[in-house]
Chain A
Amino acid sequence: MGLKYLKGVSTLSLDRGKCRGCGMCLTVCPHRIFKLAEGKAYITDSDLCMECGACQMNCSYAAINVDAGVGCAAAVINGIIKGSAPSCGCGEDNSCC
């Protein structure tokens, strides 16, 4: 059974104009949401996106944009308390993923 999170929240976007169809995003996506058509990538279902940012990191044509981060409530709370970006605090107290 596939697990899906909230609908319509992912910040993932793909600029097909910049895409050269190298297929790197197809390789790295842990939820397999990219496919190729007519030599360019497209997004099949952005509700499956967890915004890990792997596709953006590995797109050498800068065609992918996503507000990447960790989907972790404790991290969001930490970020609010410390006034910084959400962080799960691993390495400091190891209360992490």
Chain B
Amino acid sequence: MNENNKYSESFCISGEHFLNNIPVSITGNIRTDSMEVAVVSGKLEWRDIFSGWKVRWGIGRNKSTVEPGIYAAGRPDKTSPVIVTSNYSLTFDTVRSSLSETDCWILVLDTKGINVWCAAGKGTFGTVELVKRIKSVCLENIVTHRELIVPQLGATGISAHDVRNFSGFRVVYGPVRASDIPEFLMAGKKADDSMRRVSFKVGDRLKVVPVELVQSLKFLPLLFIYSLVFSMGDKSGESVFIRDFLLLSGSLFAGTLFVPVFLPFIPGRWFALKGWFTGVFYTISAGFIFKTGLIDLTGNFLVFPAVASFFALNFTGATTFTSPSGVKKEMKYAIPAIIIMIVAGTAVNILDIFF
């Protein structure tokens, strides 16, 4: 062993050196020139599926990370492709299960447990981290080629020409979805248009709804207090409070559940407007069911759609097509309008106590 290899032996770090934080199934090791690399299973166990379901509901999300470093899928050799991904466990599990029949290396970047696209937007899935990680795992000793397959959505944080200048590795952008990687490799590292296009179909939207719902729950105490204050003025008392609280919470769900699911079918391009329309529709339906009085209905007509509008606007962060310029423009008009409607509706509700 020459001096250079000794140096690599002591300084190259694979992922398995930090086994305390690995929720993945390690099935063995592969000996490379510089170190042992952990082989990950391509099969998802029930606990992986369960933990994936949990993080979708926002449970233990900050703990769902994989140790950054290099891993092996199948039996890769020096000529096998290198797939780059993030260290969010849900992402890593998707990648390794997509590669269950592919022999390759998986280079996991430290994105602090955030998925590729979001991390790329923040720059943690970025040029600096990628170059650093190439060096820390001594990738040049593991493969003889100088090529990396980076997910296309990582391009927001990664500059292919800079990576080449700093590391000597050429970035090839792979498909958007990990499930297309085998087909991409088979086609000689070519992705067709459908593999490169981001969609936001009903299934995609439903996946992001749970976490939106869970995060909106922190507003429930506020709605609770609001309903409590206004039901106290009512002569019939307790039963009205429960009704009012449920009605008000319904407008929250109109914005966080109904709007995402029916997104393309609700008129308007503005999310605040989509939420407002949904809120109006909801208020009318609720008015019919609960046969609320006229003044009551006026207050609700101002407050409920405004609440739904706010939560619909909030959903922009979970979509795949809203631009920051658009969101800023929308907020400039929508936030004051929402505040005015809630204040006016509250004024009507106060009047309602006295009449």
Count A/B pairs, Cβ under 8 Å. Answer: 151
The answer on a CB contact under 8 Å between B270 and A6 is: yes
Q: Which residue of A7, A24, A49 is within 8 Å of B160 (Cβ)?
A: A24
Give the A interface residue count (CB, 8 A): 46
> In this complex, what residue of A is CB-closest to B171?
A58
A19 at interface by CB-CB < 8 Å: no
A96 at interface by CB-CB < 8 Å: yes
Taking each of A31, A53, A57, which has the highest tally of chain B beta carbons within 10 Å of its own beta carbon? A57
User: Inside 8 A of B118's CB, which chain A residues have their CB?
Assistant: 70, 88, 90, 96-97
Q: Mask for B287-303, Cβ within 8 A of A = 1, else 0?
A: 00000000000000000
Min CB–CB distance B334 → chain A (angstroms): 9
A84 at interface by CB-CB < 8 Å: no
Min CB–CB distance A88 → chain B (angstroms): 6
The answer on a CB contact under 8 Å between B321 and A51 is: no
Q: Which residue of B155, B193, B316 is within 8 Å of A72 (Cβ)?
A: B316
User: Inside 8 A of A54's CB, which chain B residues have their CB?
Assistant: 120, 152-153, 155-156
Taking each of A4, A73, A77, which has the highest tally of chain B beta carbons within 10 Å of its own beta carbon? A73
A39 at interface by CB-CB < 8 Å: no
| Given contact pairs A28-B173, A30-B196, A48 touches B321 in the complex (Cβ within 8 A) | yes
The answer on a CB contact under 8 Å between B324 and A71 is: yes
A50 at interface by CB-CB < 8 Å: yes
The answer on a CB contact under 8 Å between B331 and A76 is: yes
Q: Mask for B156-171, Cβ within 8 A of A = 1, else 0?
A: 1111110000000000
User: Inside 8 A of B122's CB, which chain A residues have their CB?
Assistant: 87, 90-91
A69 to B173 CA separation, bound complex (whole angstroms): 21
B236 at interface by CB-CB < 8 Å: no
The answer on a CB contact under 8 Å between A60 and B121 is: no
A29 to B115 CA separation, bound complex (whole angstroms): 18
Main secondary structure of the interface of B (DSSP, over half): helix
B90 at interface by CB-CB < 8 Å: no
A79 to B224 CA separation, bound complex (whole angstroms): 28
A73 to B124 CA separation, bound complex (whole angstroms): 21
A72 to B120 CA separation, bound complex (whole angstroms): 15
A14 at interface by CB-CB < 8 Å: no
User: Inside 8 A of A76's CB, which chain B residues have their CB?
Assistant: 324, 327-328, 331
A42 to B335 CA separation, bound complex (whole angstroms): 35
> In this complex, what residue of A is CB-closest to B63?
A94
A sample of 26 cross-chain residue pairs with beta-carbon separation below 8 angstroms, ordered by A number, consists of A3-B264, A5-B269, A7-B269, A10-B326, A27-B173, A28-B173, A30-B176, A30-B197, A31-B198, A50-B322, A53-B121, A53-B156, A58-B158, A68-B324, A70-B317, A71-B317, A72-B318, A72-B327, A73-B330, A76-B327, A88-B118, A88-B317, A94-B58, A94-B113, A95-B215, A97-B317
Q: What 6 pairs across the A-B complex have the smallest Cβ distances?
A: A72-B317, A71-B322, A69-B324, A54-B155, A28-B155, A30-B198
